Structure formats: C-alpha cells, structure tokens
Structure 1
C-alpha cells in the first residue's frame, strides 16, 4: 500500500513543482498583465465617469444658451456614445490590443452592421437632419404621418410624441423626415374654421350679423386680421356659412368649443333654425 501511495503522490508533486517553476519564470509577465488589466478597468471606470461629466457639461452649456430641449438631448446622447467608444479603444490598447487593428475591425464591423441595419442608419441620419433644420421643437404640437401629439424628445433613432390622451408614440426619425410634418404650434396665431348650416327660409343677412356679433363679443378672438363670415355652399338641406375667426394658438381649442356653443345658442335665441338632414317623400295614389 505504501508503494502505491508513493506512486500516486509522485505525479502530483511533479505537477506542483512544474507549476511553481513556471510561476517563478513568468512572474514578471504575470505582474505586467495584471497591471495592464487593472489599468484597463481603471480606464473604463474613470473614463466612463469623465464621459458622463463631459456630456453633462455640454448639455448644461446648451441649456444655458436656451437651446431646444429635444436638440440638447440629441447632442448629449451623441457626445456620450462617441466619447465612450474612444475610452473603450484606449482600454483595449492598454491590455495590448493594437488600436489600429481595433479601429479596422470596428470599421469592418460597422460596414457589415450598416448594411444589415440600413433602416437604423437612415433613422440616425434623419435625426441629424431634424436637429439641423428644426421643423419642430420640444413641446410643439405636431402631426407626423397621421400621428398627432406634443414633441417630448428627439433621440438618435426616434422621435417621442405624447398624444392629448397621454399616450407615448415612438416615431422613427426616417418616417418623420419622409412624411409631411404639420406643426400646429409654430406660429403664435391660428384660424378656427367652422361650417354652420341654417335653414333655406332664414334671413341670410341677419344670420351673418348675429354670428359676427357673437364672435366680436369674445375678447379672445383677435381683431386682426378680422372675422370672416360668408355663405359657403347651398347644400341639400341647409345654407352653409363659413365662420373663420383668428385666435392665439394657446386659446385655439377653448375658443373653438365655446364659439360653437355660443353660435348655436345665439341662433336659437334669434329664431334662426339650424336644420338637420331631411328628405321629402311624395306619394301619388294610382287608381
């Protein structure tokens, strides 16, 4: 039994001896690699903190210049990601990876990814165009590709809208640039368009005067460029008036609803009928 135990212990002792000798011969190399790995981790940690600080400082400077919030967020994200890639390359270079090779690999990978993700790259390019030409800014109420809402932010690949019923809508930047953009908040004033139908038996001149008087009594309706009231069409069951007052953009919906109610109540008070669609049926008796 003693001989078998010594036979088993001999390979273990030899292995430990070889490992100890290898560690002794390569101790400097291991220390160097350890220092390099620690340095790379330190570069990543400290570099990430610096990147956040620089990107935050850029955002604060832009905010002090009263730049639009959506543009500030876009530039902040762009600066942060760009600087982080630089820090990552520096960390890889510290552990012995050739940075030139890394850049070449990143370029080749970027080309391959770019071909695979053409839509994402087009969204990024569209985001740059949105920031450059600024068809809208943060807080504007816009309609893009059939979706209407207030602009919350412009990100690298998409634009975030908030609908009036508080839903978040994510619109790819490519779709924003590729579709018509209606900005309801761009100008300080807006025109309200009403179509009011009255009976064919109504006095048209009186109807026009009543509607004009009702609108002129509302202080929120602007005196310039004036109120337009006129006959628009002789419809099947009514004479349709077009009513076009101008208001401040911030007052648009309140005046829209209030003016409709006021016109209905004013016409009723003056005995001017607002007809509903109707059909006359004539019956002939045949013997």
Structure 2
C-alpha cells in the first residue's frame, strides 16, 4: 500500500514537471505512463521480496513472459508506440495540417499512440499505423504560410509570345489574392510537338491556394480565347489511299 501511494505521488510530480516544459502533451502522457509502469513493477518485486520469495526467479519468469509476448506479435505494437513518440516529439506533421503520406492525402485529425488519422477531402477517414508514417516520405502541403501556384498552358507556334506573356502577367497581377512579393512570372517550359508550353507562376497564401489555382486556370483560358490566342491540342492527320484493283 505504501508503494502504491508513493508511486501515485511520484507519477503526479513527474507529470507536473513535464507539463512545465515545451514537450507535446502526447509525449508527456507517454513518459508518465512508462514511468508509472516501471514504478509499479518495482513495488511488486519489493513486495514479493518482503514476503520471503526469491526475486531472481520472478525476474527470470517475467523476462520469459515478455519475450514470448514480443515473439507473438507485439513488435508492431511497440514500433507504433515508438514511432508515435517520435512523431509527437519532432513534429513533422501536426493537427489540422494537410499532408500526403504513403500515397494518401488528407487533413491530420489526430496523432495517437498507435496510429495517425487523416480526413480526406471527400470526408473519408484513413488510419495509418505510426510506424508507416514515420518510415514514409511525408509531404506537408500547409506547413508554410505561402505557396506557389503553377498553371500550365500551351500556345500555338507563331503566337506573339511577348503579348501572350504580358496578358498572363496582367491576369495574375489583377487577382486580389495573388501576392506582389514574390512577383508573379511566366516562363517557357517546353517546345512541344504541337505547342509552346508556358507556365504561370503566382504566389499566394496557403489557405487561398486552390481558389487562386482555379481562378487563374479558368481566367487564362477565357482571356486567350477572347484575345484570339490559339490554345492547340494534339491532332493526327490520317491519309487514306485508294488502291487500284
């Protein structure tokens, strides 16, 4: 009983001291539970020793049991726990951020001890084991405050490129959510088979990314159509020959 009371007090003091640091709450809870488990095991061993039972065989028995448990499938569980701790401590992702992990894209709903929960744009929940999150390439789409929008479009050969670029620049600069710094730009990306490919590049706040991308995509198509700038598409000419009998 004394050991139980002392353990509760020590765990409480340990947890309170950790909360005063900058450690994430998940890390604090994990360390507090781990410390508590160690203390309880120590109390049990001391109690067994007081009763006159040799502690050596007990420790050997516990080691054998733990070895069997680990051998029968707790490796993944421990790996998930360890990965969850590292994710919480190092923070490659955070709650509310939009990320791509193992080919899955969604908003981070929660980071648990065992798995990370993503919410996809079509309102589907995806649970990814932490060990797969930690071992995967993580693309964080919303960590930075600004993002660059890229719009690809092709114009026909023979087009006045200076005019096409000027119109695109005016379109981007006129959009209220396109940032002035860094300044928008238009670059020639390729001389393709049927078109000269341009890319409109505009910077915007991360939360406005999809709105700006949609507006500029529609806007450049309508503007070029209005100004008579041809946007070509691949064509195949088929020649049919009549064979004389």
Q: Give the alignment's TM-score, normalised by structure 2.
A: 0.79
Q: 2:219 aligns with which of 262, 271, 278?
A: 262
SS of the residue corresponding to residue 148 of structure 1 reads strand
Instruction: Tell me the C-alpha RMSD between the 2 structures.
Output: 3.4
SS of the residue corresponding to residue 193 of structure 1 reads strand
Decide which moves more: 186-195 or 108-117. Answer: 108-117
Q: Give the alignment's TM-score, normalised by structure 1.
A: 0.68
2:183 and 2:95 mapped to 1: Cα distance? 31
> How many residues in Structure 1 have an aligned counterpart in Structure 2?
237
Decide which moves more: 74-83 or 112-121. Answer: 74-83
Change (3 A) 1:102 1:194: farther
- Contiguous gaps of at least 5 residues in structure 1: 1-38
Higher share of residues assigned strand: 2
Structure 1 residue 90 displacement after superposition: 5.5
For 1:191-210, what aligned pairs fall within 5 Å after superposition? 191-210=148-167
1:107 and 1:152 mapped to 2: Cα distance? 38
Q: Which residue of 1 aligns with 2:199?
A: 242
Q: Which residue of 1 aligns with 2:228?
A: 271
Structure 1 residue 251 displacement after superposition: 0.9
Return the index of the structure with the highest Cα Rg. Answer: 1
Q: Which residue of 2 aligns with 1:83?
A: 36
Matching of residue 112 in structure 1 with residue 68 in structure 2: yes
Change (3 A) 1:175 1:99: farther
Structure 1 residue 170 displacement after superposition: 1.2
After superposition, give the CA deviation of every residue in 1:252-278 in whole Å (9 maximum; x if it has no partner).
111111111111111112111222221
Change (3 A) 1:190 1:84: same
- Contact 1:139 1:151 (C-alpha < 8 Å) held by counterparts: yes
Change (3 A) 1:228 1:146: same
Structure 1 residue 128 displacement after superposition: 2.1
Matching of residue 187 in structure 1 with residue 144 in structure 2: yes
SS of the residue corresponding to residue 169 of structure 2 reads helix
- Contiguous gaps of at least 5 residues in structure 2: none
Higher share of residues assigned helix: 1
Q: 1:157 aligns with which of 114, 120, 133?
A: 114
- Contact 1:142 1:151 (C-alpha < 8 Å) held by counterparts: yes
After superposition, give the CA deviation of every residue in 1:16-40 in whole Å (9 maximum; x if it has no partner).
xxxxxxxxxxxxxxxxxxxxxxx8x
1:104 and 1:153 mapped to 2: Cα distance? 39
Q: Which residue of 2 aligns with 1:168?
A: 125
